[in-house]
Amino acid sequence: MSQKAIIIGSGIAGLATAARLASMSYEVQVFEAADRPGGKLGLVGNEHYRFDSGPSLFTLPKLIDQLITECGKSPRDYFDYYKKDIACNYFWEDGTRISAYADAVDFAKEAGEQLGLEPAIIEDYLKKSGYIYKYTEKVFLRKSLHRLKSYLNKDTLASILRMPQLGLNGTLHDLNRKKLGHPKLVQLFDRFATYNGSDPYQTPGVMSSIPHLEHNIGTFYPKGGMHQIPQALYKLGLDLGVRYTFKSKVDRIEVEDAKARAVWVGDTRYEADLIISNMDIVPTYRNLMSDQEAPEKTLAQERSSSALIFYWGIKASFPELDLHNIFFSEDYRQEFNAIFKEGRISEDPTIYLNISSKEGEGDAPEGAENWFILINAPGNTGQNWDRIIPEVRKIVIQKLSRILGRDIEALIVFEDYLDPRRIESRTSSFQGSLYGAGSNDTFSAFLRHPNFSRKIQGLYFCGGSVHPGGGIPLCLMGAEITANLIAEDYA
């Protein structure tokens, strides 16, 4: 008789873990409080304008192909995607514009021409970015950092020997300022700190590995939109025999004699050999295991940033915009001080604008566009969001109108929004943080909660709030780590 595994939550990591365990012959049941799979990756809109509600950047698609292949299936039967030529368009108030091509050489040439720099500066930076990623991925992202076995191999030794070259000393901003020099180029590469919700003026220089994903590997777009990613993993799980139970909120994890025994959904008890929580680690302990001793130091860690998102149906088209667009603030340091030190949104925030209708998916009527606008925000710690939201909305409209030279307010025909409160309530992400624990500490990677419980047998964790972190690629890597740990423990 096969062992039974219960997974709490169907975010990307929960879906991926479910598929991996099912392919290992576990009987898997997933309980999800919402009426659909995907966690933060959902849909918003009406019959005219469709928006992916959450993550909008897709990198490392090979991780999904790898997952599907390792589960014994053909990737193209579930999912397809294509590479973008332009990773992102960047805009500044003084009229400077840079199209950051996905190809590193083309990007270096374009940025060099716009900023009056030698392209070699950018090419060398991206080569170093790839070097750092090479020697950190296998150790920090693909293995558990909380098992001795992870440190007893040649990959770990190779990374340890290169520690001084990996950017662990000093901040990302300091590294960028030293390597790149030009303020606009420094700002452009500082923004990659936001990929895990951190502050470039605090997070370590090792985060300079992130641009490698966009410019040495590329940015991609999933055919049908970002929500096709969870749909593909959901279908994969179904084909592997995973049972999904939606609109079923788990209320408690039952622990007896230091062993996870069952979950309770309302008055119904579901017994299992293994229990994996894809829920944020804080509410997992506080709400599902309030009778168990919690790792207080871990739960007290600084959280990543959150977001204020506007979904606007725009009755016009803007040929100068692409799928990904950034409109920078004038004072980047002040913007991050506001978020991480003052708990507020800056008066001049950087604006991220995603337009999936640029990819011809029917997400907006002909001649119109669907604007997904994201502003980096602090977590929900009691701010007056009802006052903040209209203030930020006004600032965003004024800024986009100035830079694009058109009255944006007059073009909005559909509107919705997502703020840290809604993120927290809809996805159980503590304080509405997008990436769980923050990454502003040099040793953040080692401080995240492990993918297993040290005190409770049969209890495991996956998702953005545990190792290796948040975002689609890291959640997929984390699912692999969790499944591998279970395979080792129950061999």
Residue 452 counted as domain residue: yes
Which tokens belong to 128? 């170093």
In tens, the pLDDT along 215-268 reads: 999 999 999 999 999 999 999 999 999 999 999 999 999 999 999 999 999 999
**Whether pLDDT at 73 is above 70:** yes
pLDDT at 89: 98
**What is the average pLDDT across 55-84?**
97
Under 8 Å between Cβ of 465 and 472 = no
What is the pLDDT of the chain when averaged over all its residues? 94
What's the pLDDT band for 151 if we cut at 50, 70, 90? low
On the question of pLDDT at 139 being above 80, the answer is no
Predicted confidence (pLDDT) per residue in 316-349, tens digit: 999 999 999 999 999 999 999 999 999 999 999 9
Answer whether residue 462 is part of any domain: yes
Give CA–CA dist 341/393, Å, rounded.
Answer: 22
Q: What would the two tokens of residue 171 be?
A: 């901040």
Residues whose CB falls within 8 Å of the CB of residue 190, separated by 6 or more in sequence, listed in order = 172, 173, 176, 200, 201, 332
Q: Considering the entire predicted model, what is its pTM?
A: 0.95
The CATH number given to whatever domain includes residue 464 is 3.50.50.60
In a domain, 184, yes or no: no
- pLDDT per position as a tens digit, 41-51: 999 999 999 99
Number of compact structural domains in the chain: 1
Q: What is the pLDDT of residue 405?
A: 98
With a cut of 60, say whether residue 6 has pLDDT above it: yes
Residue 211 lies in a domain: no
Q: How far apart are CA 102 and CA 62, in angstroms?
A: 17
Q: Residue 166 has what pLDDT?
A: 60
**What is the reported pLDDT for 158?**
64
Say yes or no to pLDDT of 167 above 60.
no
Q: What integer is the mean pLDDT of 158-182?
A: 79
Q: What integer pLDDT is reported at residue 147 of this predicted model?
A: 73
Q: Give φ, ψ of 152 to 5 degrees.
A: -105, 60
pLDDT of residue 323: 98
Q: What percent of the chain has pLDDT over 90?
A: 88
Residue 361 binned pLDDT confidence (cut-offs 50, 70, 90): confident
Q: Check residues 452 and 438 and name the one with the higher pLDDT.
A: 452
* Partners of 412 in the β-ladder: 314
pLDDT for the residue 414? 98
Per the structure, the complete domain to which residue 274 belongs is given by: 4-41+226-301+448-489
Instruction: Tell me the C-alpha distance between 39 and 27, whole Å.
Output: 22
State residue 4's pLDDT score: 98
Domain membership of residue 237 (yes or no) is: yes
- Residue 60: pLDDT band (50, 70, 90) is very high
**The predicted structure's pLDDT at residue 169:** 75
Q: Is residue 130 part of a domain?
A: no
The amino acid present at 107, given as its one-letter code, is: F
For 213, phi then psi, to 5°, come to -65, -40
The better pLDDT of the pair 446, 447 is held by 447
Q: What pLDDT does residue 155 have? A: 65
Q: Is 463 a domain residue?
A: yes
The tokens for 227 are 């929500």
Q: Is residue 288 part of a domain?
A: yes
CA-closest candidate to residue 175, choices 447, 448, 442: 442
* Three-state SS sequence of the chain: CCCEEEEECCCHHHHHHHHHHHHCCCEEEEECCCCCCCCCCCEEECCCCEEECCCCCECCCHHHHHHHHHCCCCHHHCCCEEECCEEEEEECCCCCEEEEECCHHHHHHHHHHHHCCCHHHHHHHHHHHHHHHHHHHHHHHCCCCCCHHHHCCHHHHHHHHCHHHCCCCCEHHHHHHHHHCCHHHHHHHHHHHHHHCCCCCCCEHHHHHCHHHHHHHCCEEECCCCCHHHHHHHHHHHHCCCEEECCCCCCEEEEECCEEEEEEECCEEEECCEEEECCCHHHHHHHHCCCCCCCHHHHCCCECCEEEEEEEEECCCCCCCCCEEEECCCCHHHHHHHHHCCCCCCCCCCEEEECHHHHCCCCCCCCCEEEEEEEEECCCCCCCHHHHHHHHHHHHHHHHHHHHCCCCHHHEEEEEEECHHHHHHHHCCHHHCCCCECCCCCCHHHHCECCECCCCECEEECCCCECCCCCHHHHHHHHHHHHHHHHHHCC
Are the CB atoms for 394 and 321 separated by under 8 Å? no
Q: Tell me, what's the pLDDT at 319? A: 97
